[in-house]
A and B are shown apart, each in its own frame.
Chain A
Amino acid sequence: EPEVTQTPSHQVTQMGQEVILRCVPISNHLYFYWYRQILGQKVEFLVSFYNNEISEKSEIFDDQFSVERPDGSNFTLKIRSTKLEDSAMYFCASSLWGRAEHNEQFFGPGTRLTVL
């Protein structure tokens, strides 16, 4: 069964450094998402992406964040200058369709980002 994959599983970085988190969505899916979960808190939506554009973003997704689909398979989340509070588990998800009634989102295993 196809799955969403994410690399790396754990990333440790120094505050102020740039990080790129990588995801390979399910191959025929059209909508892609990033969520994050700070330890002990809710899973929070960051951004959704369709047709090479951001379709929706949350207030968390500020200018420090960007997303890209650099080729036909990868979907990346870049944090330009990491802060301590960016430490979290980052989940990538993909869905075949966007509308909620057809919108089963399939999640990757997550990347744990630790900012020191």
Chain B
Amino acid sequence: AQRVTQPEKLLSVFKGAPVELKCNYSYSGSPELFWYVQYSRQRLQLLLRHISRESIKGFTADLNKGETSFHLKKPFAQEEDSAMYYCALSGLETSGSRLTFGEGTQLTVNP
């Protein structure tokens, strides 16, 4: 079974402050982890994925298999980062893989 947990429903920071959105997962196989973002009145879109090891809009996420975590971090938050963030997991073993989503964290960056 696949499970993703985002413990914080709401997170509020000030502009310029560091931000960390937590994500923990449970999966018996080899996981691929994703962060999706949904800005106000927009569709879900991929922010970044573990396998590509990119930094997108200043965000990074490291897969920690020991702690089964994939926390999203940004050193200096911007107001335009305010959005709903979803952590998601897919299994590397299967094709047409479902995404299992966490509950989401609503990030608000205050001026």
Contact = CB atoms under 8 A, between A and B. Distances in A.
Interface in A1-17: 3-4
Interface in B74-109: 86, 90-92, 94-104
Nearest to B45: A107
Nearest to B6: A42
B79 to A, nearest CB: 24
Contact of A55 (B51, B95, B103): B95
Interface string A76-109: 0000000000000001000001111101111111
B85 to A, nearest CB: 12
B96 A45 contact: no
B45 A103 contact: no
Given A42-B102, A48-B98, A104 B32 contact: no
A91 B44 contact: yes
A45 B100 contact: yes
Contact of A45 (B32, B94, B98): B98
A58 B98 contact: yes
Given A107-B44, A108-B43, A110-B43, A101 B99 contact: no
Interface of A: 3-4, 31, 33, 35, 41-45, 48-50, 55-56, 58, 91, 97-101, 103-110
B98 A98 contact: no
A48 B95 CA distance: 10
Given A43-B101, A44-B101, A103-B32, A98 B95 contact: yes
A55 B96 contact: yes
B47 to A, nearest CB: 11
A104 B92 contact: no
B22 to A, nearest CB: 16
B100 to A, nearest CB: 7
Q: Most chain-B CB neighbours within 10 Å: which of A45, A100, A108? A: A100
B92 A100 contact: yes
B100 A99 contact: no
Given A100-B90, A104-B46, A107-B45, A31 B101 contact: no
A99 B95 contact: yes
Closest A-B pairs by Cβ, 10 of them: A98-B95, A55-B96, A100-B90, A100-B32, A45-B98, A98-B96, A107-B44, A48-B96, A43-B101, A100-B97
